[in-house]
Every structure is written in structure tokens, then in C-alpha cells.
Amino acid sequence: MTTVRSTANASKAARLEQIRAELNQRWIEQELERLNEVFLAALKAVMAHCEQLRSELANQQLLEQETEAQLTFADKLRLKLGVPYSAVSMSAAAQQLPLIREHIAQLQEDITLNSPGAKPSTNGRSSMLLTAIEQNDRAVKLASASNNSTRSTWVEEQLQNQLLEERNQLADWRREASQAKARRRASRSNVELTVKIEGQNGMLEGTTRDISDTGVFVELQDADKTFIEGELLTVQVSGLPAEATAVRGVAVRVGPNGLGVRLLSAKNSLRPPENQDETP
């Protein structure tokens, strides 16, 4: 008994571990799918940001050309010779041009930082693309980590829900089986009738113990010495005309204390009228 119980406990533990492994894998797959959607959304945001940067860059480059066209001859000469000069001696265009060019350089760097193949900036400038990649890599590693508490909690909750559902299903099956058994029992009649059973090797007389629509069990001594399983038999109520109660069937469950007969006809005339199905 102890060995059987130990084997059952080991089998149950192995099944629980298998379910946990399947739930772990399902959670990881679902989480990776979710992370992939988040990452794709982040990449779309990066692409939109780059488009905005390129549009602004085009505007600044156009502004640079317009500003260069407004430089005075003195401004151009000083710029060409590299002669330093104060803001007082500069035109408005000459004062604005360095700021425009600085902004253009920043925009170009931002575009590079958010384009495929980008590398971290040496001056500490942030990159939406690199940040998204870093966050995704970190989240993927966390999803697959063995010590992920979120996954462990989810797995245990799902495991308990699954076990509860299985217990409910088992209870439903047992209830249905019990109801089916009750219906079968209700369809039988325990009226004791003295019947004659005739087969190839002779005829014996016994008492019915269980009569249903499909068969009858008859108690009689040494039934197995006269009848064999599979033999074709005729059963009729003693003392009544054969044409009124005789039925034919096949011997089943033949033993020393009786035998069962599976009827070949659709209607069991051995059953009392009050126990037979009523037809409209």
C-alpha cells in the first residue's frame, strides 16, 4: 500500500512539474511576444523622430543658405581670412550664421545616433534608438531569467486554476457516471420470476435476480456445467405459454451460481408490464 501511494505521489509530483514547465514556457512566449510589440512601437517612434529631425535639418540648411546670402563683403572677407572680429563689427547675418551651423551639426549627430548602426555618443548625447535596444535586451533577459518573480507568481496562479478546473471536471464526470448508473438501476426490475433456460446441453430452472431492457441475470446452481458463454439460449417464465414470455439471447457471465443472458430482441417480454417503457 505504501509503495502504491509513493508511486502515486511521485507521478503526481512529476505531472505538476511538467505543467509548471509548460506554463513557464507559455509565459515566456507571451512575454517575448509582448516585448516584441513594445520594441516595434519604439522603433516606429524612432523613425518618426528621425523624420522630424530630417525635416528640421532641411529647414536649417535652407536658413543657412539664406543667411549666407545676407553676409556683407567685409563679413565674407573676415570669414575667408579667419580674422577674428567683435559682435559690434559683425552684421546680423554674421552673428546668426554660427548658431545656425551649430544647430545643423547637432541635428546631423542626432540623426546618426538614431540610424541603423548607431554607436553611443562620445559627448553623452542620448539616442532613442540605442535606448530602445538596450531596454529591449534587458527585458528579454529578465523574461528568461530563472528568478523572475512575476513569472513564478503567474505560473502558480495558472497551475492552481488548472487544477481547480480539472477537479471540477472530475466532479462533473463522477456526477454524470453516478446519474447514468442510477438510470441503469432504475431501468431494471428485481422481480423474482421462476424461469426455464434451454441451451444445447439441456434445460435448467432458476430465479431471475435482475431484469433490464437488454438482458436478465438468473440465479441457478451449476450453471457453468450446462451452459457456456456465447451459447444461444431460450428463456421463458415457468408455467406460462412460451409464445407469451419466451425470449432468445446469448449467455454471458456464466458461473457456478448463475448466468447472464444478453437478449437479442429489442423488447424484453420477461419484464412486468409496469416496468416496461410506455409508448404513446
Q: Is the pLDDT of residue 13 over 90?
A: no
Q: Is the pLDDT of residue 87 over 60?
A: no
CA distance 16 to 109: 55
CA distance 135 to 131: 6
Torsion of CA 11, 13, 19, 21, to 10 degrees: -120
pLDDT at 57: 96
Q: pLDDT tens for residues 200-254?
A: 999 999 998 878 778 888 999 889 999 999 999 998 887 666 666 688 899 998 9
The 8 Å CB, 24+ separation contacts for 188-195 are 188/212, 189/271, 189/272, 189/275, 191/271, 191/272, 191/275, 193/237, 193/238, 193/270, 194/237, 194/238, 194/239, 195/235, 195/236, 195/237, 195/238, 195/270
pLDDT band at 83 (very low <50, low <70, confident <90, very high): low
If DSSP states are collapsed to H, E and C, what string results for 195-229?
A: EEEEECCEEEEEEEEEECCCEEEEECCCHHHCCCC
Nearest to 162 by CA among 10, 13, 23: 23
pLDDT band at 279 (very low <50, low <70, confident <90, very high): very low
pLDDT at 266: 58
pLDDT at 238: 78
Helix (H, G, I), strand (E, B) or coil at 167: helix
pLDDT at 81: 75
The structure's pTM equals 0.52
pLDDT at 274: 46
Q: pLDDT tens for residues 141-198?
A: 888 887 788 888 888 899 898 888 889 999 999 999 988 877 766 655 566 788 889 9
What does each C-alpha distance from 49 to 38, 56, 59, 111, 120 come to in angstroms? 16, 11, 15, 9, 17
For the chain, what is the mean pLDDT? 84
Is the torsion defined by CA of 177, 178, 180, 185 positive or negative? Answer: positive
- Estimate the share of the chain in helix, then strand, then coil, as percent rounded to the nearest 5: 60, 15, 25
pLDDT at 86: 60
| CA angle (114, 60, 125) in 5-degree steps | 35
Q: Is the pLDDT of residue 122 over 50?
A: yes
The 8 Å CB, 24+ separation contacts for 250-253 are 251/199, 251/227, 252/215, 253/217, 253/229
By the 10 Å C-beta count (0-12 exposed, 13-18 middle, 19+ buried), 251 is classed as: buried
pLDDT at 268: 60
pLDDT at 143: 86
Type of residue numbered 98: P
- The residue ranking higher by pLDDT, 273 or 257, is 257
What does each C-alpha distance from 112 to 53, 56, 101, 155, 245 come to in angstroms? 10, 14, 17, 43, 100
Percent of the chain with pLDDT over 90: 36
